[in-house]
């Protein structure tokens, strides 16, 4: 079973551990805990402790840490060791822009492989999101939002592109638990745009159009957030 962001769940990771390299297992295990904020920003990653938890040596854990450092999720300092990267607010816009581009491309590439079941699943998820609008839960809404998009691009044949989307999703989760906590008014527009995306896929719109619409959809959420932050800054400056 895959999680909302298309990554392997804890149960599946355990079941597949025999087929994964030890370094890959460690990488997924640590990254999952960063995404879930079990390991919060600044958390020290003790290699020996993680190795013990995973019943392995520190060598594959060290390799996993290097990969996570390249992903921007972990920092390493001499005489200090590895820590979960602190939140860099300026990185949020860059990650959102990256998700917009990568997810748009991944969805476009998945088009010819999508089934009726995939589209029905996406529509059902979107209806669950719509049902949350009256009694809004931003965290659950964000989780379902990831599930919706994953349903549309998970059949992307480009595995590298798929993994890049997952990395950026993890980075966003590290930076913001839920964007919709800051811009709840964006939720209705997001749900309506989801419905339009599925309708375009059903109407056999071109890959170029789907890529453009998905990218615009993600970018609209970023713009809403940026506008809200700008207004907050203005209010704080007026008070000072």
Best CA proximity match to 23, nearest among 53, 52, 58: 58
Q: How many residues does the chain have?
A: 240
Question: Residue 106 pLDDT > 90, yes or no?
Answer: yes
- Does residue 83 carry a pLDDT above 50? yes
Find the range with the poorest average confidence among 98-102, 169-173, 236-240.
Answer: 236-240
* Cα–Cα distance list, 30 to 3, 25, 115 (Å): 15, 9, 33
Q: Are 46 and 81 in contact (CB under 8 A)?
A: yes
Task: Identify the band that residue 237 occupies on the pLDDT scale cut at 50, 70 and 90.
Answer: low
* Per-chain mean pLDDT for the chain: 85
Q: What is the rounded distance in angstroms from the CA atom of residue 155 to the CA atom of residue 233?
A: 41
**pLDDT band, residue 7 (cuts 50/70/90):** very low
Contact 152, 126 (CB under 8 A): no
Pairing of strands 74-77, 44-45: unpaired
The yes-or-no verdict on residue 45 having pLDDT over 50 is yes
The whole-number pLDDT of residue 177 equals 59
pLDDT band at 89 (very low <50, low <70, confident <90, very high): low
DSSP state of 171: H
Mean pLDDT of 194-209: 97
Lowest mean pLDDT among 51-55, 141-145, 182-186, 234-238: 234-238
Say how many C-beta atoms besides its own lie within 10 A of residue 135's C-beta: 6
What are the tens digits of pLDDT across the range 107-139? 999 999 999 999 999 999 999 999 999 998 888
Query: Rounded CA gap, 5 and 166, in Å?
Result: 6
| Strand partners of residue 230 | none
**DSSP codes, 38-72:** SS-TT-EE-HHHHHHHHTS-HHHHHHHHHHHHHHT
- 13 pLDDT higher than 60: no
Question: DSSP 3-state assignment of 34?
Answer: helix
DSSP 180: G
């Amino acid at each position: 079973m895959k999680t909302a962001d298309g990554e392997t769940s804890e149960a599946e990771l355990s079941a597949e551990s025999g087929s994964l390299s030890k370094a890959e297992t460690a990488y997924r295990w640590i990254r999952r805990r960063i995404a879930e904020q079990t390991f919060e920003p600044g958390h020290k990653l003790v290699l020996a402790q993680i190795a013990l938890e995973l019943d392995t040596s520190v060598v594959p854990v060290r390799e996993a840490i290097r990969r996570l450092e390249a992903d921007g999720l972990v920092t390493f300092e001499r005489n200090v060791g590895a820590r979960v990267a602190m939140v860099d607010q300026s990185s949020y816009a860059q990650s959102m822009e990256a998700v917009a581009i990568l997810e748009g491309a991944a969805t476009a590439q998945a088009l010819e492989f999508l089934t009726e079941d995939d589209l029905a699943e996406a529509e059902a998820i979107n209806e669950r999101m719509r049902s949350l609008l009256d009694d809004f839960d931003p965290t659950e809404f964000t989780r379902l939002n990831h599930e919706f998009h994953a349903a549309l691009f998970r059949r992307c044949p480009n595995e590298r592109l798929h993994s890049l989307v997952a990395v950026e999703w993890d980075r966003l989760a590290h930076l913001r638990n839920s964007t919709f906590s800051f811009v709840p008014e964006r939720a209705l527009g997001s749900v309506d745009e989801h419905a339009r995306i599925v309708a375009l896929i059903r109407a056999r719109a071109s890959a170029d159009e789907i890529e453009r619409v998905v990218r615009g959809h993600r970018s609209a959420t970023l713009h809403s957030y940026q506008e809200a932050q700008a207004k907050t800054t203005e209010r704080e400056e007026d008070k000072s």
